Amino acid sequence: MKLRVLGCAGAEFPGFHPPGFLVDDMLLLDAGTIGAALNEVEQRQIRYIFVTHSHLDHVRGIPVLADNLVARNVRHTVHVAGCHDTIFALRSHLMNDVLWPDFNRLPTPQHPAIRYMELLPEQEVMVEGYAITPVPVTHTVPAVGYVVRKGGKGFFYTGDTGPTERMWAYVSGLDALIVEVSFPNDMEDVAITTGHLTPRLLAGELKKVAILPSRIFLTHPKPQYFAVIEAEVAALGIRGAELLRDGSRLEV
């Protein structure tokens, strides 16, 4: 699987955009960044978007993508997948014909730009040859991470999470882990309150994994603390850990 990092920051500044991980050009994990990174042809290749939770920095690319598709009058439907609370939030609070049009009915109800796909926690779905399992994590709103497997390879993407339990059993033995680290160590209280990790909290979490993936990619740092977080990760000596940047390309 080829991964293209459209954005991997926990806020927005020049060169730092919210999370979006494009798998093999057609499957997107979180939609914090789409239009700032992909041209029109690339946007139209997206077939599925798996959203971890309803927070704006993980979904805000979806309404704009839908508008771009309809503006060109291309008959292209993007499937937006997530667990019940997330899909409910998108329908009722974002593309609700108030903040933005309901692209689940546009351009026509028969051929909408967006179709919603409700997932059940820990129930694997197969799409386009990928086996994808949502696993609950710990955040301020209902949130999941995803196991993504194809062709004997597999990785886990956490989305946003604080210290958590269930997902670590799924991470064990995979090829790669993309895990959030939002705040530096001295902001541990803020991290816990807001459902995020620091380098030190992450090091503690990784002890819960029986067989650690050999590659660990870190996402969602607050750009204001990027250098501090990078230094703290290095000081902790987390084996195989690498802080991602927007535009990175990975192979799993």
Residues at the site binding Zn ion, with contacts judged by CB under 5 A: 55, 57, 160
- The distance of closest approach from Cβ of residue 203 to Zn ion in the complex, given in angstroms and rounded to an integer, is 21
Nearer to Zn ion, 57 or 246 (CB): 57
3-state secondary structure of 84: helix
CA dihedral 185, 240, 1, 114 (to 10 degrees): 0
Cβ atoms of 18 and 57 closer than 8 Å? yes
Within 8 A by CB and 6+ apart from 193, the residues are: none
Q: Which amino acid is at 46?
A: I
- The distance of closest approach from Cβ of residue 86 to Zn ion in the complex, given in angstroms and rounded to an integer, is 11
Among the listed residues 150, 107, 146, the one whose alpha carbon sits nearest the alpha carbon of residue 127: 150
Nearer to Zn ion, 106 or 243 (CB): 243
- The distance of closest approach from Cβ of residue 210 to Zn ion in the complex, given in angstroms and rounded to an integer, is 27
- The distance of closest approach from Cβ of residue 139 to Zn ion in the complex, given in angstroms and rounded to an integer, is 6
* Cα–Cα dist 151/161, whole Å: 28
Nearer to Zn ion, 81 or 212 (CB): 81
Nearer to Zn ion, 55 or 215 (CB): 55
